[in-house]
Structure 1
Amino acid sequence: MVKLSAKDYFSSDFKLGILGGGQLGKMLLYETRKFDIRTKVMDASDEAPCKIACNEFVKGSLMDFDAVYDFGKDVDVLTIEIENVNLDALEKLEDEGTKVYPPAKALRTIQNKATQKLFYTDNGIPTAGFSRFAYASEIKDSVENGGLEFPFVWKAAQFGYDGQGVKVVRKMDDLAELPSGECITETMIPFKNELAVIVVRNPSGDVVTYPVVEMEFHPEANQVEYVICPARIDEDIALKARKIALKVSEKIGHIGILAVEMFQTQDDEILVNEVAPRPHNSGHYSIEASYTNQFEQHIRAILNLPLGKTESKVAGIMVNLVGTEGHTGNVVYENIAEIMTMDGVTPHIYGKKQTRPFRKMGHVTIVNKDVDEARRVAQKVKETIKVISK
């Protein structure tokens, strides 16, 4: 395969393939359009947010071998915006010379949560204690025989996203609601904070990290409601979190963006929860707050370009916009004009026409020199805008 240099990517015949056409892909396309990089996207939905913004769109299942393989044969570099893709196809493409970032080997470790947890223990990376089950029905036997104690966290081994595939199990009756497939259970961690660090790596081995962010979750939906940068933690804790994130990145061998989600325990230990090998919710604040946002950084990394400055210009808060409970159908963003009157507030609408309870429909960033003031405005934004149906 012809070796490409930086000048070959811009205003040329070079083609970047993106598997997945959701909001993360759409925000990647903001950056490829800025650089005039040609793109081809595949998604299973005809209404994927990426469809109107890429140069070529292909409808196809990301888990179908032939669809992924045929798509990848026609691009120069292939990346993802969601990790649930056919890995056998990616490995064949790699064998035939296509550059696939993140590499299929890294995705094999990450795609299955049981495999991911074993990777942490095998590599001396601190993580919550866990058990692995081929079937959810085996959990009841483990509880009855003293192997598990309530409460614990249940996670589907594969295909979980946006709070789906995760449940806190507090009593025996909760087990009846669990899907039957492969899963893990994790010890409940009495944490102080949920944190995240984004690590960026290019094929040349250059590595940078973004500042540690703090995440506040919705108690029922298990979705991030707020991302706060910088995290309101001591500097020694931030350094510890960044160091662990760098170790995860090195051991897993990823290229591009890797978001490492963590717990800060009551004893100030840092435990890795899970990772995402792509642009991530915890980095959306960077679009307005950082010198180089995470989407541009991912493009720079996978094309082996110089990595950008990761520091923030101002404090940034991200508020997720999710569908309101009790509303399903054509979406309406109630009071959106009202939040746009607030200083430092920028809404991002993902282009999904149909809302449903807790579906991610957009996000809002709030920037301010003072993180506490930004958090106050974020609360006002959250209380003002509503994602409802007509």
Structure 2
Amino acid sequence: MNYFSSDFKLGILGGGQLGKMMLYETRKYDIQTLVLDPSNDAPSRIACNEFFQGDLMDYDTVYEFGKKVDVLTFEIENVNVDALAQLEKEGKTVFPSAKTLKTINNKATQKLFYVDHQIPTADFKRFAYPDEILNAVKNESLAFPFVWKSARFGYDGQGVKVIRTYSDLEGLPEGECIAEKMIPFKNELAVIVARDSKGNVKTYPVVEMEFHPEANQVEYVICPARISEEVAKKAQLIALKVSKAYEHVGLLAVEMFQTENDEILVNEVAPRPHNSGHYSIEASYTNQFEQQIRAILGLPLGNTESKVAGIMVNLVGDENYTGSVVYKNIEKIMAMEGVTPHIYGKRETRPFRKMGHVTIVNKDIAKAREIAEQVKKSIRVIAE
């Protein structure tokens, strides 16, 4: 099929920053794109050929949008899976598949999937509603501390809470959830795997993630991870095992824990471009967004090696500001060596909202980390 400068249409469900950065690549190749998003001000609106406003969880909206395109993908998991399944039945190409998404977008079924496929993961218990957790603690079948996770709709640190005492159980949202054993770990790692419909795969280097202690969001992504070659190889092999088990098409970001004993446990996955791969725009031969396009269209997978060490710093809204966004001191960080800001196009900031990211590249990873610290201390995302 001719994708370039043709009538071929790629549909993207979700018009956030991931979609916007994917559209940089479709514009490079002159691939027509249609985007569906609930917000009329979605960041992707400025870069696609056609924009449609609508509810991603509404069956008819997703189904009718899918019929307009030749290949359908998504940049967010919270979409109507039943509509995707029906489109597939009618011969529409959907990557990743509805089956893959259905398993992944429920954390309970995702964890059970790992158990069924002998993929190492933290011990957990599944509950229909939070009151069952209280009974489990009282019956001593569950012990403090543990990590509560909502089975559905958690993202960017939402839907996750460390439970240390009875008081931490108060106010948990209703609905299906899991209680996961707390893992003493050295590092949180991630590997992005690219896979096409023929089963060809490539992995990006292992990255190390540093999290904000309060918001539970990634603050820094460091590539390459500062770990031994042995641990890196183990992480990549486990990521490949996860990829093979899902038989996904496109990208799969596999988040993992490196335990104190250097074991690797899978935390969770995302079947799309991921925050842990943003560094690749400046640091890799083929960035993750181009790779997603290559994988879902059956084009040759690109080189995943890094040209240079890269660190990504998330730009999130200052916790004390809500309103029209201002990037204070952005000129200061742009004067620093190897620093590239990416602004997502969200006009309104609020506490801890992802508003952009900054990539720092340097031949020396230690130097890159120093500059990243300067960036973090310098720029603030505030409101007018």
| TM-score, length basis structure 1 | 0.98
Partner Cα distance (2:299, 2:366) in 1? 35
- Residue 258, structure 1, aligned to residue 246, structure 2: no
Structure 2 partner of 1:247: 241
Q: What does 1:189-200 align with in structure 2 at a 5 Å threshold?
A: 189-200=183-194
Q: What does 1:223-242 align with in structure 2 at a 5 Å threshold?
A: 223-242=217-236
Q: What does 1:346-361 align with in structure 2 at a 5 Å threshold?
A: 346-361=340-355
Q: CA deviation at 1:266?
A: 0.2
- Which of 144, 149, 153 is the aligned partner of 1:150? 144
Partner Cα distance (1:215, 1:48) in 2? 27
User: 5+ unaligned residues in a row in structure 1: which ranges?
Assistant: none
Partner Cα distance (1:379, 1:257) in 2? 29
Aligned residues: 384
Structure 1 partner of 2:130: 136
Partner Cα distance (1:361, 1:198) in 2? 22
Q: What does 1:64-83 align with in structure 2 at a 5 Å threshold?
A: 64-83=58-77
Partner Cα distance (1:363, 1:270) in 2? 28
Q: What does 1:24-63 align with in structure 2 at a 5 Å threshold?
A: 24-63=18-57
Identity of aligned residues (%): 73
Secondary structure at the counterpart of residue 294 of structure 2: helix
Partner Cα distance (1:40, 1:149) in 2? 49
Q: CA deviation at 1:204?
A: 1.8
Secondary structure at the counterpart of residue 364 of structure 1: strand
Structure 1 partner of 2:201: 207
Amino acid paired to 1:264 = Q
- Which of 239, 262, 266 is the aligned partner of 1:268? 262
Partner Cα distance (2:327, 2:161) in 1? 29
Please identify runs of 4+ aligned residues in structure 1 that moved more than 3 A.
none
CA displacement, residues 82-128 of structure 1 (integer Å, 9 cap, x when unaligned): 01111110000001111000011111110100000000001000000
- Residue 220, structure 1, aligned to residue 218, structure 2: no
Partner Cα distance (2:332, 2:275) in 1? 24
Amino acid paired to 2:46 = I
Amino acid paired to 1:177 = G
- Residue 84, structure 1, aligned to residue 54, structure 2: no
CA displacement, residues 301-342 of structure 1 (integer Å, 9 cap, x when unaligned): 000000000000000000000000110010000000000000
CA displacement, residues 36-80 of structure 1 (integer Å, 9 cap, x when unaligned): 000000000001000111000011111100000000001000000
Partner Cα distance (2:44, 2:131) in 1? 39
Q: CA deviation at 1:26?
A: 0.2
Partner Cα distance (1:269, 1:107) in 2? 27
- Residue 316, structure 1, aligned to residue 316, structure 2: no
| TM-score, length basis structure 2 | 1.00
- Which of 71, 85, 98 is the aligned partner of 1:104? 98
User: 5+ unaligned residues in a row in structure 2: which ranges?
Assistant: none
Partner Cα distance (1:337, 1:177) in 2? 42
Structure 2 partner of 1:304: 298
Secondary structure at the counterpart of residue 196 of structure 1: strand
Secondary structure at the counterpart of residue 149 of structure 2: strand
Partner Cα distance (2:40, 2:175) in 1? 29
Partner Cα distance (1:270, 1:44) in 2? 38
Q: CA deviation at 1:253?
A: 1.2
Partner Cα distance (1:83, 1:250) in 2? 20
Q: CA deviation at 1:177?
A: 2.3
Partner Cα distance (1:177, 1:95) in 2? 41
Partner Cα distance (1:32, 1:299) in 2? 8
Secondary structure at the counterpart of residue 177 of structure 1: coil
Partner Cα distance (1:326, 1:384) in 2? 16
Partner Cα distance (1:84, 1:124) in 2? 27
